[in-house]
Amino acid sequence: MKVGHAAWAFATPALLVIGVFFFVPVLAALIVSLTDFDLYALADIRNLRFVGLDNYWHLLHTPDFWRAVANTGYFVAVGVPLSLAASLASALLVNSRLTYFTAFFRTVFFAPVVTTLVAVAVVWRYLLHTRYGLLNYALAHIGIHPINWLGDPHWALPAIIVFAVWKNFGYNMVIFVAALQSIPADLYEAARLDGASLWQEFGRITLPMLRPTLLLVSILTVAGYFQLFAEPYVMTQGGPLQSTVSVLYFMYEEGFKWWNLGSASAVAFLLFLMILAVTALQLRLTRDAETS
C-alpha cells in the first residue's frame, strides 16, 4: 500500500501534465470534430451545430481529400523506401573501414537534417528552376529537355520526394551507424574465414542484425512521412493542380486558412487512423517474418 501511494505521488505530476496538455486537447478535438465549428460559431456559439459524423462523411466524399490521401500515400510509398535505402547506404559508407574522413562525411550527411527547411527550400527552388536550374542544366547535357519540376503536376511530387529524402536521410543514417557499430566484429571475422563474399556478409549478417533497428526506423519514418507538410508548404503551396497537397496540408488549410475547425479536427483523426493502421500492418508483417 505504502509503496503504491508513493508511486502515485511520483507519477501524479507527470500524469497531470500529460492529461492537461495531451488527453484534454485530444478529447476536445474529438468533440470539435463532431460539430461544424467555424467562423460563425466563433462569432456566436449559438451558431454551432452538433453534426455527428457529418464531417467524416463529407470528407470521405470530398475528391480533394482523397486526392490528398493519394498524394500522401504516393509520398510514403516512394519516399520511405528511398529514404531508408539512402540512410542505410550512407551509414554503410561512413562506417566502412575503407572510407577516409568518416567524421567529415558523417557531418556532411547530417547537415541537411539540422539546416532550416525554409532556407534550403529556397536553394532547392533554384536548383529545380525550369530555365536557370542546375538540374535541368545537367539534364540538357544528356539531351533531356527542360522539365518544369515544380510546375508540372506529374513532376512536382517526385521533386518534393527527392527534396525530403535529401533533407531527412542523415537522421536515420546516424541511427544505422550506431546499430552497425554494435554488431560484434567476430561475426564478420568468422564469415571471412569461411570465405563469405561482401554481399553474403551483408545479407547474412548485417541485415539480420539490423532488423530491430530497421523496424524502429521504418515505423518512425512512415509516421513522419505521413505528416508531410512543411516541404509542400514552402516549395509549392500545394500546387500545381493540388498535386502536392498532403493530408496535413489539407488539414492546415481547412483549419487555419478557412477556420473550419470541425472539419479540420476530423481530418486529424482520419490521419491518425491511417498512421495507426499502417503501423499495425508493419508490426504484423515483421512478426510474421520472424515466426516463419
CB atoms within 10 A of CB 289: 10
CA–CA distance, 85 with 68 (Å, rounded to integer): 25
Asked if 250 and 64 touch (Cβ cutoff 8 Å), the reply is: yes
Q: How far is the CB of 241 from another protein (least distance, A)?
A: 6
- Judged by CB under 8 A, the stretch of 83-91, 105-113, 126-134, 181-189 that binds another protein is 126-134
Name the helix (H) or strand (E) containing 112.
helix 102-114
67 is an interface residue for another protein by CB under 8 A? no
Closest C-alpha among 92, 117, 118 to residue 105:
92
Q: Binding another protein by CB under 8 A: which of 102, 242, 282, 286?
A: 242
Q: What's the CA gap between 201 and 206, in Å, rounded?
A: 7
Could you tell me which stretch among 183-191, 219-227, 250-258, 281-289 binds another protein (CB under 8 A)?
250-258
Interface with another protein, residue 132, by CB under 8 A: yes
Q: Is 236 in the site for another protein (CB under 8 A)?
A: yes
3-class DSSP state of 145: coil
The DSSP call for residue 131 is T
Q: Does 38 bind another protein (CB under 8 A)?
A: yes
| Smallest gap from residue 53 Cβ to another protein (A) | 17
CA distances from 159 to 87, 135, 231 (A): 18, 11, 10
74 belongs to the binding site for another protein (CB under 8 A): no
Decide: is 146 part of the binding site for another protein (CB under 8 A).
no
Q: Taking CB under 8 A as the rule, does residue 12 contact another protein?
A: no
Q: What is the CA radius of gyration of the chain?
A: 24
Task: Show contacts of 93-98: CB within 8 Å, 24+ apart.
Answer: 94/173, 94/177, 95/177, 95/180, 95/181
Q: Give the interface size with another protein as a residue count (CB under 8 A).
A: 27
Task: For the CB of residue 143, give the shortest distance to another protein in the complex, in Å.
Answer: 18
Using CB under 8 A, which of 8, 126, 137, 272 touches another protein?
126
For the record, the C-alpha cell of 89 comes out as 547506404
Identify any residues that bridge with 35 across adjacent strands, giving them in sequence order.
50
Among 104-112, 160-168, 253-261, 275-283, the segment contacting another protein (CB under 8 A): 253-261
Pick the piece of the chain touching another protein (CB under 8 A) from 149-157, 165-173, 199-207, 279-287: 149-157
Q: Where are the alpha helices (DSSP H) in 229-260?
A: 230-235, 247-252
Q: Which of 92, 125, 223, 229 is the binder for another protein (CB under 8 A)?
A: 125
Contact status: 194 vs another protein (CB under 8 A): no
Q: Is 56 in the site for another protein (CB under 8 A)?
A: no
Within 254-283, the residues that bind another protein by CB under 8 A are 256-259
From the list 273, 245, 235, the residue with the least C-alpha distance to 62 is: 245
Summarize as ranges the residues that interact with another protein (CB under 8 A): 36, 38-40, 42-44, 47, 125-126, 129-130, 132, 148, 150-151, 153, 236-237, 239-242, 256-259
